[in-house]
Amino acid sequence: MIRFSLKCDRDHRFDSWFQSAEAFERLHAAGMLACSVCGSHGVEKALMAPQVQGTREAQPLTAPPSAAEQAMAELRRKIEANADYVGPRFAQEARDMHDGTIPERAIYGEARPDEARRLIEDGVPIMPLPFAPRRKSN
């Protein structure tokens, strides 16, 4: 996993985790990145400072969460409280709801870029979330 500092064309800055630098590039090329603050798809990498590990005795300095971080945490809480986590079955569940073969409900999970692209092309209303799910399915 790699964390990148990102910024959108409206100068909002945020961090996001990616499986690899190549994964970021694929998502960026497919237009699947969105600003976690305003939703703009004009997202680029921002300048990053290296993260240096301090000594055990050093106390980390932490700033209070920004308004954007608080909003993202609240969004996560609402989604986790009101939607079903379907993990890697997300693409099939979303397609089945869209096709009317299962009842509609709020869901979230993971989809490969090619699966997400096909859903979008087929008119299935989906959107990427600005955070990774906490739960992992085996």
The helix or strand, by DSSP H or E, that contains position 91, with its residue range, turns out to be helix 90-99
Positions of the chain with pLDDT under 50: 138
The pLDDT of residue 123 is 95
- The residue type of 14 is F
Of 138, 136, 83, nearest to 110 by C-alpha is 136
Q: Shortest CA distance to 15 belongs to which of 74, 66, 55, 62?
A: 66
Residues 75 and 13 in one domain: no
Q: Domain for residue 78, yes or no?
A: yes
pLDDT of residue 135: 59
Q: Which domain holds residue 97?
A: 66-138
Do the domain assignments include residue 107? yes
Among 117, 92, 88, residue whose Cα is nearest residue 30: 117
* 44 and 72 fall within a common domain: no
Q: How many domains does the chain fold into?
A: 2
Q: What is the pLDDT of residues 21-31, one digit of tens each?
A: 898 899 989 88
Pair 133, 71 in one domain: yes
Helix (H) or strand (E) holding 68: helix 67-82
pLDDT computed for residue 138 by the predictor:
47
Same-domain status, 128 and 80: yes
Please tell me the predicted confidence (pLDDT) of residue 69. Answer: 87
